[in-house]
């Protein structure tokens, strides 16, 4: 059993490309300078004279030191990815982070989970939300009213494709480049189809709770917005996010209706207007 565990551990390490790369660099660098001689001296004091033992210990120690150094650098970079900037007033802050930052995703999940009655989620592609439909189902099981508003996938087109007069379109490659996400146009369509299927399937259940509706708008609006209890004076909260062009950086602001009444109403009324102008795609029959 122990041998099997050791074998599995070695196999896991061998499949880790980062570790293999670090080990390769360590194996080269460890033989430069006096590092190996220092290891040999320490082992010599312990009456270990084997060159093989010196080589193994040198590689392991140097790999460990280099791994710690890389980990420290990654932590510094991750810390710098979240930069706060004061804006509008002393109680509101802007947060700058990368698209796939774990803290960014948790911020959205925490906000949505805090909803007492309702939420409106406006997103460009709904990519993260659509891949976690169990989480959406959990929110609905708490009898929440969920409104989803996303960009029409037909806005993104292939080059030279014929479009309707007056229709807003964005070339597929430029769309991916703007958000710095290869294949984002494809992900947009996949998310859309996934959400439609989820809502249609759910509408067939007679004992469902809550209500969910999906609408689409035919524009490129590089923003993501989540509002919870948006019409509740005491509980309304919102997370607004601007997608900076040609990169994966996002700038967001968290606000509440009780502390930022003016800004909250401004964004809420704008999103509600976009909701009214949008096209209904699918909804369960308990909600219009």
What confidence score (pLDDT) does residue 227 get?
94
35, 172: one domain: no
Domain boundary among 28, 55, 80: 80
Q: Do 74 and 95 sit in the same domain of this protein?
A: no
Write a three-state SS string for the chain.
CHHHHHHHHHHHHHHCHHHHHHHHHHHHHCCCCCHHHHHHHHHHHCCCCCHHHHHHHHHHHHHHHHHHHHHHHHHHHHHHCCEEEEECEEEEEEEEEECCCHHHHHHHHHHHHCCCCEEEEEECCCHHHHCCHHHHHHHHHCCCEEEEEEECHHHEECCCCCCCCCCCCEEHHHHHHHHCCCCHHHHHHHHHHHHHHHHHHHHCCCCCCCEEEEEEECCCCCEEEEEECCCCCCCCEEEEEEECCCCCEEEEEEEECCCCHHHHHHHHHHHHHHHHHCEEEEECCCCC
Residue 148: the pLDDT is 96
**CATH code where residue 166 lies:** 3.30.870.10
98 in the same domain as 48: no
Q: Are residues 67 and 94 in the same domain?
A: no
Domain range enclosing 164: 83-283
Q: Is residue 27 part of a domain?
A: yes
51 with 165, same domain: the answer is no
Residues 179 and 49 in one domain: no
Same domain, 33 and 89: no
Q: Is residue 288 part of a domain?
A: no
Q: Is the domain of 159 the same as that of 63?
A: no
In-domain check, residue 259? yes
User: Mind listing the pLDDT tens digit of every residue in the chain (288 residues)?
Assistant: 444 444 455 444 444 445 445 454 544 444 444 556 666 677 777 777 676 676 666 667 666 766 666 666 556 555 544 444 444 444 567 788 777 667 788 888 888 888 899 999 998 888 888 988 999 999 899 989 999 999 999 999 876 666 666 667 888 888 999 888 889 999 999 999 999 999 999 988 888 888 999 999 988 889 999 999 988 877 789 999 998 888 888 888 888 888 888 888 888 999 999 999 999 999 886 544
Q: Which of 58, 80, 102 is the last residue of a domain?
A: 80
Statement to judge: residues 93 and 63 lie in one domain: no
Structural domain contains residue 279? yes
What pLDDT is recorded for position 95? 80
Residue 25 lies in a domain: yes
This prediction has a pTM of 0.66
Query: Does residue 192 sit in the same domain as residue 119?
Result: yes
Tell me whether residue 270 is in a domain: yes
Question: Has residue 38 been placed in a domain?
Answer: yes
Domain boundary, last residue among 18, 45, 80:
80
Are 179 and 53 in the same domain? no
pLDDT given at position 68: 67
Domain co-membership, 76 together with 118: no
pLDDT value at residue 41: 72
Q: How many domains does the chain have?
A: 2
């Amino acid at each position: 059993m122990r041998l099997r565990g050791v074998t599995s551990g070695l196999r896991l390490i061998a499949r880790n490309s980062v570790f293999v790369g670090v080990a390769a660099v360590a194996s080269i660098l460890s033989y430069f300078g006096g590092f190996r001689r220092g290891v040999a001296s320490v082992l010599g004091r312990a009456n270990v004279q084997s060159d093989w033992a010196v080589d193994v210990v040198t590689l392991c120690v140097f790999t460990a030191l280099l791994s710690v150094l890389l980990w420290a650098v990654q932590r510094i970079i991750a810390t710098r990815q979240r930069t706060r900037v004061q804006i509008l007033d002393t109680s509101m802050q802007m947060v700058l982070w990368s698209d796939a930052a774990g803290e960014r995703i948790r911020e959205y999940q925490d906000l949505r989970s805090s909803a007492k009655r309702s939420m409106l989620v406006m997103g460009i592609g709904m990519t993260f939300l659509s891949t976690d439909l169990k989480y959406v189902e959990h929110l609905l099981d708490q009898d929440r009213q969920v409104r989803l508003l996303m960009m029409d996938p037909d806005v993104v087109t292939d080059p030279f494709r014929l479009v309707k007069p007056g229709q807003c379109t964005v070339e597929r490659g430029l769309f991916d480049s703007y958000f710095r996400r290869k294949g984002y146009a494809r992900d947009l369509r996949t998310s859309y189809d996934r959400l439609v299927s989820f809502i249609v399937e759910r509408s067939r259940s007679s004992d469902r709770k809550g209500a969910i509706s999906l609408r689409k708008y035919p524009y490129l609006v590089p923003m993501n917005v989540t509002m919870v209890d948006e019409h509740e004076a005491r509980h309304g909260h919102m997370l607004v996010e601007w997608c900076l062009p040609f990169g994966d950086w996002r700038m967001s602001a968290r606000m509440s209706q009780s502390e930022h009444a003016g800004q909250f109403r401004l964004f809420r009324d704008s999103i509600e207007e976009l909701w009214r102008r949008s096209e209904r795609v699918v909804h369960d029959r308990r909600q219009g």
